[in-house]
Amino acid sequence: MKHLKTLRVRFTLWTAIWLLLVLSLSEAFVYINFAREQAQSIDDALRLTAAQVLLDIDDEMLLLEHANTVASSILRDQFSIQIVDLAGETRQRYGLYQDLLPPHRIAAIPDQTGIFTTVIDPASQHSIRVYTVPIVEEERTLGLLQVAQSLLVLQQALNQLLTTLLIAGPIVIILAGIGGYILAARALTPIDQITRTAARISVEDLSARLDLPSTADEVGRLAATFDTMLARLEDGWRRERQFIADASHELRTPLTTMQTILSSTLARQRPPAEYEKALGDLAEETDRMKLLAEGLLLLARNDTYRAAAYQSVDFSTLLQDVTDSLSPLTADKNIALTCRVPPNLSLNGDHDGLIRMFVNLLGNAIKYTEQGQITIFLKRQTDQFIEVALADTGMGIAAEHLPYIFDRFYRVETSRTTAGTGLGLAIALSIAKAHGGTISVESEIGKGSVFLVSLTRRQ
């Protein structure tokens, strides 16, 4: 029963049922047409023979002239004939079925075209076709001519045709069914493979692939999509694991430092100044841990951002506010910080998230620039999106690091001297993505960097 539910069996059954219908209809059509044509040709032959015989009838005598030759040719073709006079008396008859020809009365003959009747031979039970025409001389009806032939040959031909059709039909259906089953089985093999692979896959091992030869058909596309989906899942899963490993490692570093400070300070009695320094160091490490924990929390939250919480944001004011609040950081440096964004730019988004993104980007620009300019400017805007650039004349980023700076915890070696967790850009990018946008970067070492933020307006 379970087998019946497989797609290949159902496909085969439907093919067979459909074929049965089509074949039955077309076979019935062939049979009926053949029967009609054959009956017609027998009637035509009877009419022709009657016409020939009529020519040989002596009108006065109502008898066949050259009776022997005519009769033998008629008999050879298995016709029977009978000539009847106006009184209904048989004048002459030849052939196998002469006794069967029904005694027609003159009045029963409607016109000169004659009539056809079919009678049954009681001895053999065969049907016999009879054609009756009047014998007419100068518009006078003298008698009747009847020509008959057995329908046995036609019946046999029809029976043979019926047998052939009844045998051929099921054979064709069985062959088509087998063919359909093999085709369906072939086409569906990859699906079975997909099922087995899917059953084998677990979260721990996403490495299984179908690796089927690529075909352009539906199943081929499904298999290819399945493989790319697995690749994406595996990639995501690997990154997730890497993130957890990195996060725990990053959290362990300040904890280890704190443990070291605590155990070495507690090892013996110390003057108050040393305790004070130790507490200061501990406070620094707790700050670092707090930053890390906050950063991780933000990333986790951004992954599940809800567009429903978005509100209309005055983007121009937001950028100016971020610039103003960070400008004290440039106090010790020789940097000209400017925000050149036209007023009344607006978009739909998360106000706090956007502030955090630009604080991270501008914070980096200030952190990694010693002198020169930092400029925020509007690059492009359409009805759909806004592009804002942050350009600095700082240390720049080497090409080999560029692909990784948005990764969580990634910091370029040279910037290790500055404080940081390496989460800033990852957070900024996740906020941009949550706003249907992205961040790209162009940078040259020693010359500076340009971060380009593009956001959709969702209005």
Q: Is 421 in the site for ligand ATP (CB under 6 A)?
A: yes
**Whole-number minimum distance, CB 357 to Mg ion, in Å?**
11
Candidate list 313, 392, 430, 439; residue touching ligand ATP; CB under 6 A: 392
DSSP at 59: T
In sequence order, the 6+-apart residues with CB closer than 8 A to the CB of 172 are 19, 23
Q: Is 12 in the site for ligand ATP (CB under 6 A)?
A: no
Q: In this structure, what token pair is assigned to residue 130?
A: 């009879």
**Whole-number minimum distance, CB 374 to ligand ATP, in Å?**
9
Candidate list 230, 365, 376, 388; residue touching ligand ATP; CB under 6 A: 365
Nearest CB to ligand ATP, comparing residues 145 and 335? 335
Q: Is 397 in the site for ligand ATP (CB under 6 A)?
A: yes
Q: Is 250 in the site for ligand ATP (CB under 6 A)?
A: no
Q: Is 49 in the site for ligand ATP (CB under 6 A)?
A: no
Nearest CB to ligand ATP, comparing residues 227 and 285? 285
**C-beta separation of 396 from 372 below 8 A:** no
User: Footprint of Mg ion on this chain (CB under 5 A)?
Assistant: 364, 424
Length, in residues, of the chain: 459
Tell the residue number behind the tokens 């991270």, with chain if given: 360
Stretch that binds ligand ATP, among 178-186, 210-218, 226-234, 389-397 (CB under 6 A): 389-397
Mode of pairing for the β-strands spanning 140-150 and 115-120: unpaired
Rounded CA separation 145/185 (Å): 68
Find residue 135's DSSP bridge partners.
Answer: 143
Taking CB atoms, the residue at the shortest distance from Mg ion is 424
**C-beta separation of 335 from 371 below 8 A:** yes
415 binds, among ligand ATP, Mg ion, none (CB under 5 to 8 A by kind): ligand ATP
Query: Where would I find the H helices in 128-217?
Result: 152-200
Candidate list 128, 148, 154, 423; residue touching ligand ATP; CB under 6 A: 423
Q: Which of 316, 326, 417, 319 is nearest to 368 (CA)?
A: 417
The residue type at 410: Y
DSSP at 383: S
**Whole-number minimum distance, CB 312 to ligand ATP, in Å?**
28
**C-beta separation of 429 from 303 below 8 A:** no
Q: Is 439 in the site for ligand ATP (CB under 6 A)?
A: no
The count of residues interacting with ligand ATP (CB under 6 A) is 22
Q: What residues line the site for ligand ATP (CB under 6 A)? A: 360, 364-365, 368, 392, 394-397, 405, 410-412, 415, 420-426, 449
